[in-house]
Structure formats: C-alpha cells, structure tokens
Amino acid sequence: MIIGGVKATDIVSKHGSPVYVTDEEAVRNNYRRVHSAFAKHMPTRINYACKANSNLAILRILEQEGSCIDAVSIGEVEACLRAGYSPDRILYTGVNVSTPELKGVVGRRVPINVDSFSELRRLAAISTDVPISFRVNPEIGSGHHEKVVTGSRSTKFGIPLNKIVDAYSEALQLGFRPVGLHFHLGSGGQDIEPFLKGTDVLVSISQRLEAELGLGMKFIDIGGGIPIPYHPEDAPMDLDHLAEEVTSRIKNGTSAQQIVLEPGRFIVADSTVLLTTVVDVKETPDKMFAGVDAGFNTLVRPAFYGSFHHVAVANKFDRPGEITYDVVGPLCETGDHLARERLLPRVEEGDVICVYDTGAYGFSMASNYNMRPLPREVLVNKGEMNLIRERESIDELLRHQRMPSRLML
C-alpha cells in the first residue's frame, strides 16, 4: 500500500503505530472540488468545520487554499489564529456558550453566529461591535446517525423557527446589525432533499426579514454535513447537482451576496488513514479476531456510532481475502471493535491494518481511555513524510494530576 507516494510499512517502521496518516494533496483537492462546484454559480465562502480535524498543519494547508473556518470553541478559534487565519475568516458557532467564552471570542474580534436569545443578550452586555448572524433550527434534520442530527425540532441547536424573526428584531434593537442566516441539518446524511428543503426555509426567512424589518442578508449559510462514501460500493453525493439546486434557490429568492458552506468531513475524511499493527490473532469457537494496537480510544466512530470503515492489510495489499475477522483493539471493553466480519488475507502478528476514511472525527475524538496516550499524526506529500503531532507520553498523561500532601508517601 502506498499513501501519498510513501509505503505504509515505511511509515509504521519510522513512526510506530497506531498512527494517523494524511495525504496533503487529497486535502487540497477536496477543498478545491467543493469550492469550485458552488463558486461557478455564485460567490462562495467555505468555512471548514475544524471540529472534524484541527491539526495545525491541516489548518494551514486549508488557509493556503483560501478556506475560512467554522469554529465551535475558543480552543478552535485560537488554533486557527495560530495557523494564520485572520479573525474575519473565522465564524464562531457555539451552543450553550458561557459568558467567559463569549468574552474570549469578542476579544479576538471573531464574528459570532448566535444560537439563542440568552447568548444574544449576554453578548450585547459585552459588546455590540461584533458582526453576528443567527443559527435557526429549521425543523429539518439529516445525518448518518441520530446522535449527529442537529436540525430537527427536538434538538438543542439554534433559534426556534417560530422565533427567528423576533431574534433579528431584538438584535436590531440592541444595536447589532446582523449580516447572515445559518442552519446545520446534521452530519453525513446521504440524501440531497433535506438540503433543498432547508434552503427553502432559509429563503423564506430571508424574505420575511427583508419585508418586515428591511434587513437584507449578506450571506446565507447552509452549514455542512456533505457525506462521503464510507462503503466501497457507496456512490458519492452529486456535488454539482447540490450546488446548482441550492444556489438557484438563494439567487432567485434572496438578495444575499454570498453562499457559505461548512464542510468538514467532505474535505478531510478520505484524506487520512489509520495504520495499526496486529499484535494478537485469536481463534474462538465463534470468531477469528485480529487484535491490533488501536482501539476506540484511537478511533471511536465504530463503537460510538456503529460506523463502517473499510479496512485492508497494508503489507498484503495484493492478496485475496481468505478468512473473516473482527478487527479489535486493546481496551477492556467488548465494544472495542474497529471492524466486524471482514474478509481479509490470512493475518499474522506484525501485519499492518489500514483503516480508511479516518480524517474526520478520528483523532479529534480520540481519548486517553485505559490511560493510553494519544497517537502520532503524519503528513505525506509526493513521497515525503512529516511528523505533524508527536505521540503523547505517559508523563504527559499524568501532568495535570495533583496529589494532596496528606496522601503523599
């Protein structure tokens, strides 16, 4: 297996495992694909949803491409500033935001996408000299799992649909001048129809804002959630069709000057693989297990969402499948599976398993469960590999713990 011009086995030999490996060219190409699909219809701003993957090197690659940022925490804001983004290229969209965090975002002069009336009023007490937009709950949800559907009526996100005009009205009274309107339906839904229905909702709200408040929107933000084909047999979403349908609605129904999108998964998911080494092969009456050194502490999506990730044996890439294995990790949990019932070449200790499409919500959701350090990240590009995150040490795992003096030995 070759990744970005580098043998997978050479990466593991040099950097150990588990290790996340990102192909720089894939990140750049994915950004260009989504931007060009929409930009040929109307002015387009891509706010990369950096919660998917916030490594500084990846943020910098996208900054060079001209991307902007969707940030959901003060930590993400600070990371993006350090990666070279100017504050105006970041849009902060939090939920249940504390007043200290609001002050931190305002202090960094970053525009804010407001999620609630409480947030609006607390923000006004800090400053009204900040560009704002509003996140509306469109009562339309979409996503690959119920835990990532964000736009349905019962979720915690956004201003209720029947209160959204009131929110803009109050913002004007408080001294703000709102510039945009936003929703986020969910993450990874395969159907184009919810995007179109949601866009119709935004168009309708925009028309009401203009008619009732004389307020035109600078931008309409349709959020993220563009899916990728995790299963080898899945078809990708027709990005050109999505772009054409969404932009025609905005251009024909509003005075908005710009469309904003917030893809995260689409840009980085398939740019990255997780390489993990087989450390144990176990046969039981019911199963063959390939035990590896990565678990749901390294990649939680299969355990948390039941997500599918294609796997292959990187050092036996040209060999046919012979035996069906469950690929399982070292955690003390029965649910510690990376893959179930996969036909693979005969697996031996020392083989390298490649887990595909791990660039989105892979490292960013990793944990220290079972006191296991976070893995390395490596960037590959045209035959060159660079370490972009060092492996965590045991000492670093313990560095923030404090022992009361009365318990000292």
CATH number for 41-263: choose from 3.20.20.10, 1.10.569.10, 3.90.1150.10, 3.40.190.10: 3.20.20.10
Pairing of strands 376-381, 384-389: antiparallel
pLDDT band at 156 (very low <50, low <70, confident <90, very high): confident
Positive/negative CA dihedral, 76, 79, 85, 88: positive
Q: CATH 2.40.37.10 in the chain, residues?
A: 2-8+269-398
pLDDT band at 119 (very low <50, low <70, confident <90, very high): very high
User: Which two structure tokens, joined as six digits, stand for 237?
Assistant: 């979403």
**Annotated catalytic residue, options 50, 68, 80, 332:** 332
pLDDT at 187: 59
DSSP state of 331: S
pLDDT digits (tens, 9 = 90+) for 10-29: 999 999 999 999 999 999 99
Q: Give the whole-number percent of the chain exceeding pLDDT 90.
A: 89
DSSP state of 198: H
Long-range contacts at 107-112 (CB < 8 A, ≥ 24 apart): 108/77, 108/78, 108/81, 110/71, 110/77, 111/87, 111/179
Cβ atoms of residues 266 and 215 within 8 Å? no
Q: Give the whole-number percent of the chain exceeding pLDDT 70.
A: 96
pLDDT at 225: 87
pLDDT band at 139 (very low <50, low <70, confident <90, very high): confident
pLDDT reading at 103 higher than 60: yes
- In this structure, the chain runs to a length of 409
Q: CATH 3.20.20.10 in the chain, residues?
A: 41-263
Q: What is the rounded distance in angstroms from the CA atom of residue 146 to the CA atom of residue 263?
A: 19
pLDDT at 7: 97
Instruction: Give the residue-averaged pLDDT of 142-166.
Output: 72
86 CB neighbour count, 10 Å cutoff: 12
Q: What is the rounded distance in angstroms from the CA atom of residue 332 to the CA atom of residue 295?
A: 10
pLDDT at 155: 77
Looking from the CA of 96 toward its CB, the CA atoms found within 13 Å total: 3
pLDDT band at 401 (very low <50, low <70, confident <90, very high): very high
Mean pLDDT rounded to a whole number for the chain: 94
pLDDT at 208: 95
pLDDT at 184: 86
pLDDT at 192: 86
Conformational region of residue 341, where left means phi above 0, alpha means psi within -120 to 50, and beta covers everything else: left
pLDDT at 324: 98
pLDDT at 152: 60
pLDDT at 388: 98
pLDDT reading at 145 higher than 90: no
pLDDT digits (tens, 9 = 90+) for 170-226: 999 999 999 999 998 875 567 788 889 889 999 999 999 999 999 999 999 999 889
Residue type, 108: R
The architecture in CATH of the region 2-8+269-398 reads Beta Barrel (2.40)
Instruction: Give the residue-averaged pLDDT of 359-368.
Output: 97
pLDDT at 191: 79
pLDDT at 143: 52
pLDDT digits (tens, 9 = 90+) for 68-89: 999 999 999 999 999 999 999 9
pLDDT band at 140 (very low <50, low <70, confident <90, very high): confident
Secondary structure of residue 86 in the 3-state scheme: coil
Interaxial angle between packed helices 239-253 and 193-213, expressed in degrees from 0 to 180 and rounded to the nearest 10: 20
Can 332 be counted among the known catalytic residues?
Answer: yes
pTM over 0.85: yes
pLDDT digits (tens, 9 = 90+) for 263-312: 999 999 999 999 999 999 999 999 999 999 999 999 999 999 999 999 99
pLDDT at 138: 86
